[in-house]
Structures are given as structure tokens and as C-alpha cells.
Amino acid sequence: MSVRRERRAIVVISLLLAVAFLLVMPAFPWLAQFTPPSGGGAPAADHWDFSAFPVVWNLNPQKGSNITGGRAVADVMQASFNTWQAAPNAALPVTRGSDVGDTSAGFSASGNNTNLICFVCQGDFTRDAETLAVTITTIENASGGSDGHGGRSRFAGQIIDADILFNPAHQFSTGAGGTGQDLQTVATHEVGHFFGLDHSAVVRAIMFPFAPPSETALSYDDVAGISQLYPKASADVALGTISGTVRFAGGGGVFGAHVFAESATGNQPIGGNIRKSPIGTMSLPDGSYQIRGVPPDSYIVVAEPLDSPVGNGDIQGYARAFGQGSVQTNFTTRWH
Amino acid sequence: MRAELQVPRPRRTRNDKLKEFLRVSVSLWWMLIGSATATTVSPIAVEELARRADVVVEARAVRSWSQWDEGQHLIYTYTRFAVGRALKGAAGPAIVVRQMGGTAGGYTQKVAGVRQWTPGEESVLFLRASDARDGSMAVVGLMQGSFVVVHEASGETTVSNGVPEVSSFERGAVRTYTGSRMTLRELERRVGRAVQP
């Protein structure tokens, strides 16, 4: 934990325990990135509208000697998308499009856009090998603008383009015989950004900002985030919500507290290749929170300041989306 | 079911136990960490940041603006800083830093992990010329070369680039990275030592 002067505030947590199984509610999962509408109003969680235009990803198959290993990069990328598309309760109708030769990322309002996957693209970020990859998403600030696919945008926060660029200065391994960082581990994380997920403060999540050398399976936290952004019409697994408010002893709400539900049992309510993990969220400006996507189980709910290892800087867009300079961290960890 | 719980301050022993649990859990995890997928970065030590930078400055953000690039494909945010002190290289009284992402013309582009500055925010910046070749600078290591300055209530001034202390597991060995949060004085000392001829 960081060294800081702690306000010896007593955090009051009021809990509304999970009862809303199978209930799909308007989403404010903190895992999403948010965009405040240009005309004002509540921030919208960024996400694609799969009914607006077909969403495909296009691979530039060129690669340098920095990528080694027995698998083709196309197979690695497909496996990374498959991981998310297999998530319980989520509907992600995204397909691989034709390969392209593009080496420039970005968006054009006049059209002809691709969601580029590139291993040879250059930019400021490629000057340091320690920057492994970046994902650039383009989002509409309001409805009615060109969506770059011949139509008009439908809502503020609509993702209309996403490009994933791997740094050609970094050494990646695609599998057997390769050397360097496991490509699929990085790709799986970046594909989470492709779908609009921000970083998670849950250590075992794929969307945690710091990854182990090899980890390609989603966690409960990742499933909660993706299934709230893109809910399947008929749920595979019954999931509920834990909600409540984080307050200082004086009564004021705590903005940006990291609140997570940790299972108190050894149960595995979500089967398959999903790793059990806490499920987190961030409190809103009034201190209220909703942890969505919670499978039936017994939980300890913890509210902690977001001061380390994940901090305000990792999710800076969250505070900005709510008109705040940063999340509040002047309180001590509490749990129930 | 709705359960309103007002919780008294937890007993010290219970709080200690939880903190110890969290500390141990996180520490064990850090032992396995190889690289960071932010937008995905591996930690760069302060000394290495200093060596790679053309200039290292203590500066205060004055204002930011975003605009499309010439090709109208990418949005960049420019921030003008008032330079207080140069720790490496020669810098004028003002410097402009370019970052990926921003809001312009009805669109927003986001790059996860890229932090933007707010006017008045103080930073220590490790910079090199940006690819734009327009006089603007880029932060070394995407955002790792941007240390936010915090004036603590204790009177101490600390800095952090948001990359936590981690023990990374690389090439079969645990390598401890010491960067991130430190006092401004320590950062100045480390930069000074790193750039000595």
C-alpha cells in the first residue's frame, strides 16, 4: 500500500445482496470505458452496436523477425477472439475479415475503415520495446455522426473502430519453439480493449494491467464485464447483482472506491475454462455501486482505495467521465 | 433482500488479518508477473528512462487541446507545459507534449493506459522529439516517463509514474523493478547519477 495520510474515516457500506438473478439492468460496470455525451448527460459505457454494421477484424499478416514460434499469428488472434466469444452470457458476433496490407491505424469518417490487427505498424509507441501493444478505439460522442461504415451513429459511446497494434520492437512467441512474451496473453488482453473493456483492479483478471507470462483464460471478473456490455438473449449461467453504497462516517459518498466480491467458498458456479476470481466494480460519485455478473455463491464484499497496484492513472477516463479529477483514496479498506 | 449494515470500525486484529492476506496474495502474484499489459508495457527503470530521454524536466501543465492528424485518421492531444527546471538537456520556458488519443470533431479516440494531464498538474517528464516532427515531444515509454508530482500533507513531495513496484519473472529469474513512487529528491538524485558523463 502506498504511503499516504489516511483520513481515519469509518467507511459505511450498505449492501443490497444479490437477488436479481437473470436480471439484465442498465449497465455501469466499471470495467467498461466511458464516454460523456457531447450534449451533456450521464456517461455512456463504450460498446459496439452489432446491429449497426458487421464488425470484422482485418489482419495485416506481415510480421518481422521479432515474432517466433510454431503458430501463425492469425491463429493466435483467432484464438484470442474465440476466448472472449466463448464467454458465458455474452453475445459477440465478430468475425475475421479479409487480410489487408494497411500499416496505418485510425478512423476515417468518410468510410473505408478496417479494424486493423498489425504487427509492423510504427509510431511513437514503437520507440521503446517495453511498450508491447496498444489498442486504439474510436468512439462516437453523440448520435447522428458518420459511423464510418455508411451509416449514422446511434448513441454516445458507440465504438465504431478499433485497431490493435503490436510493437515490432518487442520479442513475441506464438508457441512452441518461440522466444519472448507469449503473444496470445497480450492479444487476449488487447481484444478486451477492442470490445470496450477498461482495466480491472482484480489481480486475476485478464484485464488487470499487469499480466503473467502466459495467461489466456478469462476470469469471473472478465466474464462479468463482457456479459454486461454484450448480454446474450438467453443466459447460459444465472448471474445476479450485489449493490450498495460506500460512505464516509460523515455520510458523504466515496467516489471511485474499488468494491469487489470475493467468494467465501470453494464452489465453481461457472464451469468451463473460466478462472474463479473476485468480481469488481467502482463506486459512482454518490458512493453507490453495483457488482453485476455475480454467480450464486457466498461472498465477502470489500471496499478498498484504488491506490496500488492499480491506481487512478490506470483508469483515468473513469474519473473524467464523471467530471472528477480522480477517484477518492482517502479511506481505509473495509469488508463484510 | 436488502441489508443495510452500519459497520463499526473493525477490530484491529481483523483488519490486520485482511491486510496481511491481501498483501501476501498480491506479493505472490507479483512474483509471477512477466510484463504488463496496459496498453501493454514492461517496466522501465528511472535510470534507463533518463538515458533514453533527450530532456528531463519538472513542469506544470498549462493547457491541453486535441486535434486530428494531417491524414484525419488519428486524434492526438497536445499539452503545453511551463518548465520549472531541466534535469537533463536544454529546455525553453515552455514545452509541448503530444499523446495518442483525445476528443475532436465529434469523436473520441482512446488508448488504454495513456493518461492525460489537467491544467495545473505538476510532473517530471522524460521526453524525446515526437514522430510528428513539429517541435512537440513524446513521453519515453508511452506513459512511463511521466511522473505525477504530489505535495503530501506531511510536507514531503513524492512522484509516481503509476507503474507499481513489481518483481518480474523473466528468463527464469525474478527481477525486481524499483521505479514508480518515490520522493522527488530521490528521483532527482537517480536522474542526476544516470546522466553523469
Dihedral, CA of residue B180, residue B184, residue B186 and residue B191, to nearest 10? 80
Predicted confidence (pLDDT) at residue A5 exceeds the cutoff of 70? no
Task: Tell the burial category of A257 from Cβ atoms under 10 Å away from its Cβ (0-12, 13-18, 19+).
Answer: buried
CB contact under 8 A, B140 and A185: no
Predicted confidence (pLDDT) at residue A27 exceeds the cutoff of 80? no
Helices A183-194, A220-229: crossing angle, 10 deg rounding: 30
The residue with greater pLDDT, A326 or A46, is: A46
Which segments in chain B show pLDDT lower than 50? Answer: 1-39, 165-176
Extract the C-alpha cell encoding B189: 538524485
DSSP E strands: which ranges in B118-179?
122-129, 137-139, 146-151, 157-160, 166-170, 173-177
The pLDDT assigned to A26 comes to 26
CA–CA separation, A314 and B161 (whole Å): 10
Phi/psi of residue B126, nearest 5 degrees: -105, 115
Cβ neighbours around A8 below 10 Å, total: 10
Count contacts between A and B (CB, < 8 Å): 210
Maximum pairwise Cα distance, chain B: 68
- How far does A162 lie from chain B, in Å, by closest CA? 9
Q: A84: closest CA among A187, A173, A172, A162?
A: A187
Residue A161 belongs to what H/E stretch? strand A159-166
Mean pLDDT of A148-157: 94
B153, closest residue in chain A (CA to CA) = A5
Domains and CATH numbers, chain A: 12-30+236-335 (no CATH), 45-196 (3.40.390)
Dihedral, CA of residue A326, residue A330, residue A336 and residue B4, to nearest 10? -80
B9, closest residue in chain A (CA to CA) = A10
Q: Taking the model in full, what pTM does it have?
A: 0.82
Task: Give the pLDDT band (50/70/90) at residue A43.
Answer: confident
Of residues B107, B144, B169, nearest to A140 (C-beta): B107
- How far does B64 lie from chain A, in Å, by closest CA? 14
- How far does B85 lie from chain A, in Å, by closest CA? 24
First CA to last CA distance, chain A = 20
Q: CB-based contacts of B57: which residues, under 8 Å, 6+ apart?
A: B81, B83, B84, B85, B86, B87, B91, B95, B124, B125, B127
Task: Give the pLDDT band (50/70/90) at residue A48.
Answer: very high
CA–CA separation, A46 and A57 (whole Å): 18
CB contact under 8 A, A11 and B7: yes
In three-state form (DSSP H/G/I as H, E/B as E, the rest C), the secondary structure along A221-288 is: HHHHHHHHHCECCCCCCCCEEEEEEEECCCCCECCCCEEEEEECCCCCCCCCCCECCCEEEECCCCCE
A37, closest residue in chain B (CA to CA) = B106
The pLDDT assigned to B40 comes to 56
Cβ neighbours around B45 below 10 Å, total: 14
Question: What residues of chain B, 77 to 96, have a C-beta less than 8 Å from chain A?
Answer: none
Partners of residue B19 in chain A, C-beta under 8 Å? 1, 333
The residue with greater pLDDT, A204 or A273, is: A273
What percentage of residues in chain A have a pLDDT greater than 70? Answer: 85
CB contact under 8 A, B107 and A141: yes
pLDDT tens track for A217-228: 999 999 999 998
Q: Which of A26-35, A185-194, B138-147 has the lowest mean pLDDT?
A: A26-35
Three-class secondary structure of residue A59 per DSSP: strand
- Alpha carbon distances (Å) from A113 to A55, A63, A158, B67: 11, 21, 15, 19
Three-class secondary structure of residue A163 per DSSP: strand
Measured between CB atoms, does B113 come within 8 Å of chain A? yes
- Alpha carbon distances (Å) from B72 to A106, A107, A111, B68, B107: 8, 8, 12, 5, 11
pLDDT tens track for A228-279: 899 999 999 988 999 999 998 888 899 988 888 989 999 999 988 899 998 8
Extract the C-alpha cell encoding B71: 491524414
Of residues A14, A130, A141, nearest to B141 (C-beta): A130
Partners of residue B183 in chain A, C-beta under 8 Å? none
CB contact under 8 A, B144 and A33: no
CA–CA separation, A334 and A303 (whole Å): 5
Q: CB-based contacts of A50: which residues, under 8 Å, 6+ apart?
A: A91, A92, A93, A94, A230
The answer to whether B100 and B74 have CB atoms below 8 angstroms apart is yes
Where exactly are the structural domains of chain B? Answer: 46-160
The pLDDT assigned to B39 comes to 47
CB contact under 8 A, B33 and A128: no
The complex scores an ipTM of 0.82
pLDDT tens track for B122-150: 999 999 999 998 999 999 988 889 998 98
Q: CB-based contacts of B38: which residues, under 8 Å, 6+ apart?
A: A199, A209, A210, A314, B112, B113, B142
B16, closest residue in chain A (CA to CA) = A333
Q: What is the CATH number of domain B46-160?
A: 2.40.50
Of residues A19, A123, A211, nearest to B37 (C-beta): A211
Q: Residue B180 carries which DSSP code?
A: S
DSSP codes joined into one string, A3-34: --PPP-PPPEEEEE----TT-------TTB-E
The pLDDT assigned to A193 comes to 94
List helix spans (H) across chain B.
Answer: 12-30, 46-52, 184-194
Cβ neighbours around B54 below 10 Å, total: 14
The residue of B15, B35, B37, B73 whose CB has the most chain A CBs within 10 angstroms, and thus the best one to mutate to test that interface, is: B37
Measured between CB atoms, does B108 come within 8 Å of chain A? yes
Cβ neighbours around A157 below 10 Å, total: 26
Q: B144: closest CA among B168, B177, B173?
A: B177
In three-state form (DSSP H/G/I as H, E/B as E, the rest C), the secondary structure along B103-122 is: EECCEEEEECCCCCCCCCCE
pLDDT tens track for A98-113: 999 999 999 999 888 9
Of residues A38, A213, A336, nearest to B106 (C-beta): A38
The pLDDT assigned to B168 comes to 44
Predicted confidence (pLDDT) at residue A23 exceeds the cutoff of 80? no
- Alpha carbon distances (Å) from A153 to A115, A140, A301: 17, 7, 38
What percentage of residues in chain B have a pLDDT greater than 70? Answer: 70
